[in-house]
Structure 1
Amino acid sequence: MFGMIQIAMPQRPSAAMPLLAFMLLVLGGCQNPGPRAIEASRTDYNTAILETDDEQLLLNLVRLRYRDRLMFLEAASVTTQFSFGASAGAAYGYQSLARENSVIDGRILIEEKPTVTYQPLQGKEFVEKLLTRISLDTLVLLDGSGWSSERVFRVCVERMNDLRNATSADGPTPDHAPVFEDFERAAILLQELLELDMFAGARTSGEERSVIRFRPEAVELDQYKKLVELLQLDPNRRVYSLENTLDRRDGRTLSIRTRSFQGVMYFLSHAVEVPEADIAAGRVTATVGDDGQPFDWGTVTEGLMRIRSSSERPDNAAVAVAYRGHWFYIDDSDLDSKSTFSMLGQIYALQSSEVRVAAPLLTLPVGN
C-alpha cells in the first residue's frame, strides 16, 4: 500500500528550511496508518474465513454422497504483521527571480505478512462428537431460535414414536427407497400448529425433562387430531413428555430419536444431484423404489436442501466447490437450501465445540 504526496509551490532560495518543515508536517499526518490497515483487512479476513468454512461444509456433503471420507480443517489462528516505512525528498530549482520551483516528494509503504494456522479435527474426542446423537436440549434450542419446527425435526430427528424419517439415509446411500412420508406429514402438522400459536416446548418445573404443551383450543383443530393419530398419542391429553428414546409406548410420551451430526450430514448429502455420468459409472449408489425404478431423493429433501451440479463454475451460486471434475453448488436464490445450510453450520458448531485435538498444526505464510 503506497501513498505519494507531491506538491509544487514557488519559493525563494532562503525558503528551503520551511519547505522541509512543511514536508515533515505532511508526512507526520500519515505516521499512524495502523487503524486504517485494520479497517482495510479485517472485513477481508472475516469474509474469507466464512466463505471457506461454507465451502468446506459443502465439500464434505458432496464427499459423503460419493462415500468418500469427511475431513474438517479448522483455521486455528490467523495472525498478520504490518511493517511501515516512509521516505521523503525535496528538490529546489532556480531559473530566475521570476521563476523558481520547489518539489516535495513523500512515500509511505505499508507491508502486510499474514500467517494462517490450520488444525485438522480428528481423534477420538472429535469422532465421538460426530457420532453422538443431538440432545433434546439442542433440539429445543434450535426449535426456539427462529428455525421452523418442520426444518428442525426433518433434519435432526430420524424417528418420532413409530414414524420413520428416512432412517436408512443416516449412513451411506441405501439400495432401497426409505420410508419418510408419514413423518414428514407429522412435521408439517407441528409447524402449522406452531404458526397458529397452539403449542410450545418447555421444561417442567423442577424436573429434568422436556414437554410439548398444547393450548386447550388446539384439541378442536383438524391438525391436532391428525397429529395425535399419526403419533398414536392420547387425544384427551394436551401435555406430552419428550424423551430421546424409543422405549416408551404409553400415549403420554412423544419418543424422539435424534440423529448424530454425522447422520445429519449423511441425510443432507442425499440432496446432492449427482451427474449422470457418475451414476452410470457406478460411483454412487443408485437407489430404487418398490417398483424397481430409480428413486428420486429430491422427494425426501424437498423444501430442505438442493445441491446442484454443473460442468462449469456456476455464476449464481451462494456457495460452490469443485469435486471429481464437476461443480457442486447451492443456488443463491434457493432460500430453503440456504436456510438449512446455515442451520447445519450451527449444528456443527454446537456438536464440535470444545474439542481439544492433539493433531499436527499446519502453518502457512500467506504473504510473499
Structure 2
Amino acid sequence: MFKFKPITLIISASVLLLTGCSTAQLSNVQQNRGNYNVALNKSDNEQFLLNIVRMRFDKSPFFIGVDSITTQTTLSYSTGGKDTTVGNAAGQNGAFWNFQPNIEFKHTPTVTYSPLQGTSYISGLLAPITVVQFNYLVQTNLNLASTFKLTVDNIGTLSNLADTWVRDGSDGSSTGVSFNHLVDFIDQSRVNGKLGLFATNYQNNPALVLVMKDDATAAQVSKELQLDKTYRKIILSPMLSTLKSGNVVQFRTRSFFAVLNFISYGVDISANDEKKFGVSSNELKVQDQMTDNLFRLRSSDTSPVNAYTKVSYEGRWYYLTNDDITSKTTLMFLKLIYSLEAGEVNTNPWGTLDMQITN
C-alpha cells in the first residue's frame, strides 16, 4: 500500500481543486493606474481653478504638487457557501464540481504632496515666456490667435490690454481690440496658406518672423502694425528697445503669473462679491472684451450639477460647464504654460493622503 505524507495530500488536493475550477474570475481584476490618473488630473484642474479665482479677488495663488505615489496591494480570498457545488454534473466534461472563489484586491495608495517653492521655481513663474517657449506652444496646433492673446503683452504699438489700463475699467476702450483683430487676421491667413510664422534670430537672439506670401496680406499686416511701408517679412523680437524699427517690431510676452491674472478677468462676479471684494461694475462691463471670451468661469450659490470641473471659494462655487470647449482648452493651455515655466522645484514633503481602492 502506498503511503502519502499529509503535506503531499494537501498539495495534491489544492492542485486538483484549482485544476477543476470552472470560474475563478481573475480576468475581472481591474487595473487602477487609469483611476489614479483621472483622480490626480481632476485635483489638478481644481487647483488651477482655485488659483484663478484667488487672482480675481487679488489674492496670492498657491500651488502644491504630488511628490510620489506608493501603493500597497492586499488580497482577500474566500470560497463562499453558495459558490461551491459538488454533485451530479452529467453531460459535463472535466470536473464534476463548480468552485467559484471570491477574490478581492485592495489597493491603498499613499500620495505625498508638497508646496512648490524654490528660487528656480519662483523665477520661472515670474519670468516672461521666452520666444523658444512660445514656439513650443505654437507647435501644439491649438488656435494661434489664442496663443497670442493669452501669452503676449504687445506686438509693436498694439497692446493686449495696455500697461496703463486702469483696473476698474474706467479707461474704457483700451481692451486690446486692435491687438485681437491683428492676431485673428494672422491666424486666419496662416490657415489659408497666405502667411507663415517661423523661428529665426535677430541680433543673435531668438525671434519670430512673419512671412507673407502675397502683397495683400503683407499690406494688411503692415498697416495694422502701423509700419512705414509694406513688408513681406516682419521680425518679432523681444530684444528691440523701441516699439518698431523698419520691419522689426517689439514682441513682449507675459509671465505665467501674468497669464493667470489675465485669465482671471473671465471669472463671473456676483453682486455680493462686487461689494464684498470691492470689484467695480465698470470692470464687469468690459471683462468679456478683455479676455475675448477665451475663458468663462461661471459662479453659483450651490454646487453645480454636471460641471466639467468646479471649486468652492469663500462660500460660492466656481465652475466650467461641460459644453464650454473654449474655456476647457484654455485651462489645458494654462497647464502647459505652467509646466514650461515652472523650472526646477524644491520640495519639502508637507503631508500625505491615504486612499483605498477596492476591486
TM-score range, shorter chain: 0.7 to 0.9
Closer/same/farther in 2, CA of residues 361 and 26 from structure 1, 3 Å limit = farther
| 1:212 and 2:206 matched | no
Mapped partners of 1:309, 1:262: distance in 2: 22
SS for the counterpart of 2:103 is strand
Q: 1:189 aligns with which of 185, 193, 218?
A: 185
Q: Specify every segment of 5 or more residues in structure 1 that has no aligned partner in the other structure, as ranges.
A: 1-15, 95-100
Q: Shift of residue 23 of structure 1?
A: 2.6
| 1:243 and 2:208 matched | no
Which of 181-190 and 20-29 deviates more? 20-29
Alpha carbons 2:55, 2:261 under 8 Å: kept? yes
Report the equivalent of 1:203.
199
| 1:352 and 2:348 matched | no
Mapped partners of 2:54, 2:259: distance in 1: 14
Alpha carbons 2:320, 2:328 under 8 Å: kept? yes
Which of 253-262 and 187-196 deviates more? 187-196
- Report the AA paired with residue 76 of structure 1: D
Q: Shift of residue 123 of structure 1?
A: 3.0
Q: 1:141 aligns with which of 118, 133, 136?
A: 136
Q: 1:364 aligns with which of 349, 353, 359?
A: 353
SS for the counterpart of 1:295 is helix
Mapped partners of 2:345, 2:210: distance in 1: 39
Report the equivalent of 1:98.
none
Report the equivalent of 1:268.
263
Which of 17-26 and 245-254 deviates more? 17-26
Aligned length: 334
| 1:132 and 2:102 matched | no
Report the equivalent of 1:329.
319
Report the equivalent of 1:77.
68
Mapped partners of 2:340, 2:201: distance in 1: 26
SS for the counterpart of 2:345 is coil
Identity %: 25
Closer/same/farther in 2, CA of residues 245 and 18 from structure 1, 3 Å limit = closer
Report the equivalent of 1:225.
219
Q: Specify every segment of 5 or more residues in structure 2 that has no aligned partner in the other structure, as ranges.
A: 1-9, 88-95
Q: What does the per-residue CA deviation read over 1:206-256, in whole Å, with 9 as the maximum and x for residues that have no partner?
A: 964333232442x224xx433212212354321122211451321211211
Report the equivalent of 2:54.
63
Closer/same/farther in 2, CA of residues 146 and 216 from structure 1, 3 Å limit = closer
Mapped partners of 1:169, 1:82: distance in 2: 58
Q: What does the per-residue CA deviation read over 1:19-72, in whole Å, with 9 as the maximum and x for residues that have no partner?
A: 7654343579859x6x865x4311111110111111111111001101112111
Alpha carbons 2:68, 2:111 under 8 Å: kept? yes
Q: Shift of residue 142 of structure 1?
A: 1.4
Mapped partners of 2:85, 2:177: distance in 1: 86
Closer/same/farther in 2, CA of residues 153 and 102 from structure 1, 3 Å limit = closer
Closer/same/farther in 2, CA of residues 83 and 30 from structure 1, 3 Å limit = farther
SS for the counterpart of 1:296 is helix
Alpha carbons 2:112, 2:351 under 8 Å: kept? yes
Mapped partners of 1:126, 1:302: distance in 2: 30
Report the equivalent of 1:313.
303
Q: 1:165 aligns with which of 160, 163, 167?
A: 160
Report the equivalent of 2:6.
none
Closer/same/farther in 2, CA of residues 18 and 169 from structure 1, 3 Å limit = farther
Report the equivalent of 1:255.
250
* 1:11-90 → structure 2 map (5 Å cutoff): 22-25=16-19, 37=29, 39-87=30-78
- Report the AA paired with residue 334 of structure 1: D
Specify which structure has the bigger relative contact order, considering alpha-carbon pairs within 8 angstroms and separated by 6 or more residues. 2
Alpha carbons 2:80, 2:101 under 8 Å: kept? yes
Which of 142-151 and 205-214 deviates more? 205-214
Alpha carbons 2:310, 2:317 under 8 Å: kept? yes
Closer/same/farther in 2, CA of residues 257 and 21 from structure 1, 3 Å limit = closer
Closer/same/farther in 2, CA of residues 182 and 205 from structure 1, 3 Å limit = closer
Mapped partners of 2:301, 2:77: distance in 1: 50
Mapped partners of 2:100, 2:234: distance in 1: 79
